[in-house]
Structure 1
Amino acid sequence: MSAYESNEEIQIFREYLRIPSVHPNIDYEPCVEFLRRQASDLDLEFRVEYPKTEKKPVVILTWIGTQPELPSIILNSHMDVVPVFEEFWTHKPFDADIDENGKIFARGSQDMKCVGTQYLGALRYFKRNNIQFKRTIHATFLPEEEVGGVEGMRDFIHTDSFKKLNAGFSLDEGIASPTDTFNVFYAERSIWHIQFEIPGNPGHGSLLLKNTAGEKLEKLLNRFIEFRDSQVKRLAENPDLLIGDVTTVNVTQIHGGVQSNVIPPEFKMVIDARLALDVNHAEFENMIKKWCEEAGEGIKFDYEQKQPKVEATKTDKSNPYFTAFKSAIDELGLDIKLQVFPGGTDSRYLRGVGIPAIGFSPMNNTPVLLHDNDEFLRADVYLKGIEIYKKIISNIANLD
């Protein structure tokens, strides 16, 4: 039995982890009810918004500041988690088992139910000690982040309810770090999911027809692989670059064909591209158009997702919110590394409407296990994260 099992904050964290808010077809109501109880215990305002459908709730816990006219602080997290392959887990993924070393095994333990309840742990401390802040704090719990924020933050930011939050700054998720250094994310690459339709001459598999879909597919695919290799080379040659600093392209789907001896009339291919901050979007799209023309006539492409270029959150003295965040980090004696987030979070939508956002999950000396089997977080790391958030929230919520 772990010594941490009786800890109040650990008990609350594990209760949240036991709610299987897992894709697909999530029932968010147990999460809503859990958060309703938390709001009641913390004497926070509680409301639920439905930006798109009643099956996809946005939960908001609000603490009004002493100067509510100031722009508010958002403590953002998401309720949904990715699917599990239970046969590869040594602990049941929604039991939140804790072993003798204090490791808490559960889907969502790193991504990112930990952050949501760590926020609440910090607020619990402030409430019990009658500490108040100038700025209003909104702890927001979003749905559907793991599937691109569709019917979640993407729609919520355009509602009157969101605008009434008067948001000035947001904290959101980061990624664990296996070293002493904490990762801090100030920007994200633009996600483009590109769908290609590649037509060609159909016929018998024994012939050497011209302009087949397979030939065109090969030529186009080779262009993407060559570009991908160039980015691999950039990373290898410059030790200062991280994955978020380069553009990644990967083939994620190829469809086509009816049987082994029939040349098909079409192939379909999907490319997952993540455009680095230094990429000119128009030039990148024109490059793709040129590749299609070179591969053969009739190739078309469209976008399942095409995110615009979004300005990075400033990390200098021109951004008082980041200055307050960094001051807390320095006072705590923590080592951080500023990075571009390699994936996508709800922060991209906030930055897209001009709200500065920082991605930060206080998990160092922890293996990166988001979306992995046997995802876990150590109890001592979790509790230390609450202490870190106490200082960060205090600094930014009292910012003049």
Structure 2
Amino acid sequence: MSRAEWENNEEIQIFREYLRIPSVHPNVDYTACVEFLKRQAASLELPIEVVSVGLNPVVVIKWLGKQSELPSIVLNSHMDVVPVFPDKWTHEPFNAEMDDEGRIYARGAQDMKSVATQYLAAVRSLKASGYQPKRTVYLTFVPDEEAGITPGMANLVKTDYFKRLNVGFSLDEGIASEDETYSVFYAERTIWHLRLKISGTSGHDSLLLNKTAGQKFSYILVKIMEFRDLEVRRLEQNSKVDIGDVTTMNLTQLGGGVQSNVVPPLLEVVFDIRIAITVDTDELEKKIRDWCEEAGGGIELVFESKEPFVPPTKIDASNPYWLAFKQALDELGVKTRQRVFPGGTDSRFLRQAGISALGFSPINNTPILLHDHNEYLRADTYLRGIEIYKKLIAAVANA
């Protein structure tokens, strides 16, 4: 297709309209997103609800199944996007500009407004063909997935409203692939944000005081960096090991002290820890606490976030949704990789509630640009994704 043909394509127009809504952190106003989705539901002749589960709205569009008593399917996406640094962009990040090669530049092009409107496009095409799913399909559009506050899905799954949806399976976002394969994510690492409050001897900076906070911090940092280096080597030495298969520990915040000639009584340091699904979380916590004691004690561990281990979604013959999903992709002739998601998505809240969930974005042969400058998605990749979702949605809804 040419640029003019892409420009006039109805689904591309809908995608670009959604991208132009600046639902960007901080202080997101979701009003325009909700109104956009209400128009989409009206065009699809499907009922829509706006549900309050916290400070911001959740939008739910319902496509009734022929056997609505069966567990339903959720197609989830988040409405919010991460901040931008406009001076780093070659295109205005909320104009959804398209170049001659069909690249559509906008924040959210990959993460994940594309997925949201591809769901809508796939449902539109399936309905137009006369198809009605066996299972009821819910399209959920949640807030605050990209925020530091509790995401909308985390609140939604705890409600009686959600329990009444009787969800059996969920699809959510994945990550673009830079080669011809498509990544399918069946699990996520456990997320901890750990603050260490390190107390030590304070006094004049000209003295060699013992058991200072700096000494203790140095010991712990060495231990954590040694652990980190082992994981780096695992990645480098085994091509079958992916970033989602290792545990990452990264220092993200450091503070303390009042002036340059006073040894401080307290230092505080924060580590972002993403724990591989093969690691025992209790044993890892004990290891960290042991390091703190070896450093000299007097260290308080404060978990600013301590998510529990969530079992992976089964990707074997025991899971009928997986079998339907995989068969649909095989029939399309696409190559897939089953992976552990390296970051965090709303799928973990569904898995924690006992619901099978897969992360999948139909984007291949594309640079990974989520949260990056000049985020884009090609128009042909977007349209191909709609065809993939048509196959997948029909398959899992009839599982």
Q: What is the TM-score when the length of structure 1 is the normalising length?
A: 0.98
Q: Which residue of 1 aligns with 2:185?
A: 185
Q: Which residue of 2 aligns with 1:359?
A: 359
For residues 378-389 of structure 1, the aligned pairs below 5 Å read 378-389=378-389
Q: Which residue of 2 aligns with 1:203?
A: 203
Matched, 1:90 2:90: yes
Query: Using the alignment, how far apart are the partners of 1:139 and 1:33 within structure 2?
Result: 15
Of 203-212 and 283-292, more deviation after overlay is shown by: 203-212
Alpha-carbon deviation of 1:2? 4.4
Q: Which residue of 2 aligns with 1:257?
A: 257
Query: Using the alignment, how far apart are the partners of 1:386 and 1:203 within structure 2?
Result: 65
Deviations along 1:136-187, one digit per CA (max 9) or x if unpaired, are: 0000001111126714111110001111111000000000001000011000
For residues 54-73 of structure 1, the aligned pairs below 5 Å read 56-73=56-73
Q: Which residue of 2 aligns with 1:34?
A: 36
Alpha-carbon deviation of 1:49? 1.0
Query: Using the alignment, how far apart are the partners of 1:148 and 1:69 within structure 2?
Result: 37
For residues 191-230 of structure 1, the aligned pairs below 5 Å read 191-230=191-230
Query: Using the alignment, how far apart are the partners of 1:346 and 1:176 within structure 2?
Result: 17
Q: Which residue of 2 aligns with 1:341?
A: 341
List structure 1 segments (4+ residues) > 3 angstroms apart after TM superposition. Answer: none
Structure 2 residue matching 1:192: 3-state secondary structure: strand
Query: Size of the alignment, in residue pairs?
Result: 397
Q: Which residue of 2 aligns with 1:308?
A: 308
For residues 244-323 of structure 1, the aligned pairs below 5 Å read 244-323=244-323
* Residue segments in structure 2 that go unaligned for 5+ positions in a row: none
Query: Using the alignment, how far apart are the partners of 1:131 and 1:200 within structure 2?
Result: 68
Aligned-pair identity (%): 59
Which residue identity does 2:53 align to in structure 1? P
Alpha-carbon deviation of 1:3? 3.2
Q: Which residue of 1 aligns with 2:13?
A: 11
Structure 2 residue matching 1:268: 3-state secondary structure: strand
Q: Which residue of 2 aligns with 1:327?
A: 327
Structure 1 residue matching 2:381: 3-state secondary structure: helix
Of 129-138 and 116-125, more deviation after overlay is shown by: 129-138
Alpha-carbon deviation of 1:309? 1.1
Query: Using the alignment, how far apart are the partners of 1:74 and 1:248 within structure 2?
Result: 31
* Residue segments in structure 1 that go unaligned for 5+ positions in a row: none
Deviations along 1:214-260, one digit per CA (max 9) or x if unpaired, are: 11111111111010011111112221100101111100110111222
Q: Which residue of 2 aligns with 1:52?
A: 54
Assess if the C-alpha contact under 8 Å between 1:2 and 1:101 holds in 2.
Answer: no
Deviations along 1:46-97, one digit per CA (max 9) or x if unpaired, are: 00111122xx111101111011001000000000101101100000000100
Q: Which residue of 2 aligns with 1:136?
A: 136
Query: Using the alignment, how far apart are the partners of 1:204 and 1:34 within structure 2?
Result: 62
Q: Which residue of 2 aligns with 1:396?
A: 396
How large is the RMSD of aligned CA atoms in angstroms? 1.0
